[in-house]
Structure 1
Amino acid sequence: MQYVGRVPAPPLDRFIDDIYCLTGVPRHRLMNVPPMPSAHLFLHLDGPVRLWDSDRSVPPVVFTDGWFMGVWTRRFAFEYPTRVRLVGVHFKPWGMSPFIGMPAAELRDRWAPVDAVWPRSADRIRNRVGGAASAAETLRVLEEELRSRLAEAPARGLGLVQHTGGRLETSHGTIPVGALADAARVSGNHLANLFKAHVGVTPKRMGRIYRFARLIVSVDALGPVDWSALAQTAGYFDHAHFSREFKDFTGHTPTEYLALLRRFPTERRGPQDSGPMPAD
């Protein structure tokens, strides 16, 4: 598939890593997605998408237009249509907050139709980009929509969450939460409540996801993989804990995951390729 994306202009870049178009025939239709430090907006312009939660008590869903997705703390799976024409927004973990008008916790581990969050918007956006719009024009329309939806005044505590979340990002989740709270001169409970409101998860959980993301993107399937060394570099100092979390997040042991990666190598052309793997 072809990926065309870019970082939006300020001030959107404070909240969004990239906006992108993904078009073409997918090499693998069914994908398994571990928790990643991001939230998303997807608009599908060609064919429905089916999604499955790893929690078997949650029924699968089908979206024909698009959906918002908050930060996920467990894996899920999705199935591409036979031909893909998708427009995506890859939000920073706290980045969805000023666009949706609701606590981010309401979208944690959840998908929601676009029109449930932005009423009567999906068809309007689809009509504006039409069937023949170029990727550049599609991204221009999407960026314009995002700019119009950005709250004029930041919500209470968002600046602190953005700053603290940035420190978690650059440290790959290795800074202790107590140190983050002390540096911000707030209590740990206060910081956790702000993160729940603007990210959907606590800073401790966010740190775990950043740590795991660092591990996953550092795996080079073309050569020998020293899992112990990679785990220690990522901040895992208990091998049993690392093994449990890896299985929880991917559904595979490290050995199984590596075999799958070698069987189905991915082409990492953009942020949407970091983490998802073909479902075996």
Structure 2
Amino acid sequence: MPATTPPLPWSQWMPAPASLVDRVEFLLWVPPEVSVTHEHEVVPDANVDLLLELSGERCRAVLYGPLTRTIHVASQAGRGYLVAHFRPGAMPRLVDASPSELVNESVELREVAGLSLDELGERLLAAGSPQRMREELTPLLTRAPYPPGDSFDRALRHLLTRPEPLRPSALAEALHLSTRTLQRAFKDRVGFSPRTYTRITRLQEALTALREHPTRSLSEVAHRIGYADHAHMTREFRELTGRTPSDYRRAA
């Protein structure tokens, strides 16, 4: 399954390889002996996931695009799942499609960076440990084409230094760009507008706060994350996920 919002208790988290740390946030491994048949909820996210499903018969590879709505992804008991979670705007060119074409979509791959899925599956299953799997996957992900640096990277660095999201017009002004140039950069790299990007990243921050601070009031969470008030946060949750912050808190 893609990297879901609540960390899966049976998954093994791995840091990105040093050569890919600017493109990959982390990797997850769910061993076949602990995997379950389940519908996993995946909330809106600006990241892209490469999912490799491993069984004794075959290797299946699926690239999941950025999300502006909640989706559900099925897993099956007895199969291993290796996931590479890419940074926003760092979608590798593994398919002939742009991020905007993959928003809320997924595509099955026939190969990964020129290596057939049969051979990739054999290598990963023979690796013997998550760390060795990462070593097998790293050269493939390293040689995959990535988008060159552009205005999106400047905008992302600027957003990361600010405690609250900027309006697109203010962000464009701060970067000495036209609003149209900024909009195009975000669509090219993450598939949607700067406003949608900031809404989704703020949602992710709120989900983390709700999970890590179960006794903090919803009003305090809303204030700390940068929502105008509790009602605004609830409205954003409903629009993006179809659920309320209280729903997620109870589930967590």
Query: What interval of TM-score do these two structures reach, taking the shorter chain for normalisation?
Result: 0.7 to 0.9
TM-score using structure 1 length = 0.76
Contact conserved, 2:36 with 2:75, CA < 8 A, in 1? no
Q: CA deviation at 1:167?
A: 2.9
Structure 2 contact 50–64 (Cα < 8 Å) conserved: yes
Q: Which residue of 1 aligns with 2:105?
A: 110
Separation in structure 1 between the aligned mates of residue 79 and residue 163 of structure 2, nearest angstrom: 32
Task: Check the 8 A contact 1:21/1:88 in 2, yes or no.
Answer: yes
| 1:172/1:210 contact within 8 Å kept | no
The DSSP-based 3-state class of the residue aligned with 1:67 is strand
Structure 2 residue aligned with 1:249: 240
Greater RCO (Cα-Cα under 8 Å, separation 6 or more) = 1
Q: Where in structure 1 do 4 or more consecutive aligned residues deviate above 4 Å?
A: 97-101, 116-120, 220-223
1:116 and 1:248 mapped to 2: Cα distance?
36
What 5-or-longer segments of structure 1 have no aligned partner?
A: 49-62, 262-280
TM-superposed deviation, 1:4: 4.1
Give 1:167's match in structure 2, choosing from 154, 158, 174. 158
Partner of 2:194: 203
Match of 1:140 among 126, 135, 140: 135
Deviation at 1:27, TM superposition (A): 6.7
Distance in 2, matches of 1:160 and 1:98, equals 19
Deviations 1:75-113 (A, max 9, x none): 011222113411111111101155555421111111111
Q: Tell me the distance in 2 between the aligned counterparts of 1:221 and 1:9.
A: 28
Q: What secondary structure is seen at the aligned counterpart in 1 of 2:81? A: strand
Matching residue of 2:89:
94
Show structure 2 runs of 5+ residues with no match.
1-9
Distance in 2 (alpha carbons) for counterparts of 1:192 and 1:117: 30
Q: TM-score, normalization: structure 2?
A: 0.83
Tell me how far apart the structure 2 counterparts of residues 222 and 191 of structure 1 sit (CA, whole Å).
Answer: 35
How far off is 1:139 after superposition?
A: 0.6
Question: 2:154 touches 2:175 (CA, 8 Å); kept in 1?
Answer: no
Q: Given that residues 36 and 77 in structure 2 are in contact (C-alpha distance below 8 angstroms), is that contact kept between their aligned partners in structure 1?
A: no
Structure 2 match to 1:278: none
**Pair 1:125-2:120 in alignment:** yes
Q: Give the Cα–Cα distance (whole angstroms) in 1 for the partners of residues 153 and 92 of structure 2.
A: 11
Matched to 2:45, the amino acid is M
Deviation at 1:241, TM superposition (A): 3.3
For 1:66, the equivalent position in structure 2 comes to: 61
Aligned AA (2:234): S
- Please tell me the root mean square deviation across aligned C-alpha atoms, in Å: 2.8
* Matched position secondary structure for 2:73: strand
Q: Distance in 1 between matches of 2:37 and 2:159?
A: 32
Q: In structure 2, give the amino acid aligned to 1:201.
A: F
TM superposition shift of 1:127:
2.4
Instruction: Quote the Cα distance in structure 1 between the aligned partners of 2:29 and 2:150.
Output: 29
**Judging changes above 3 Å, is the alpha-carbon distance between structure 1 residues 32 and 117 closer, same or farther for their aligned structure 2 residues?**
same
Secondary structure at the counterpart of residue 150 of structure 2 = helix
Question: Residues 25 and 125 (structure 1 numbering): CA distance in 2 closer, same or farther, change over 3 Å?
Answer: same
**Which residues in structure 2 correspond to 1:178-197 (within 5 Å)?**
178-197=169-188
Q: State the alpha-carbon separation in 2 of the partners of residues 201 and 211 from structure 1.
A: 15
Per the alignment, residue 227 of structure 1 pairs with: 218
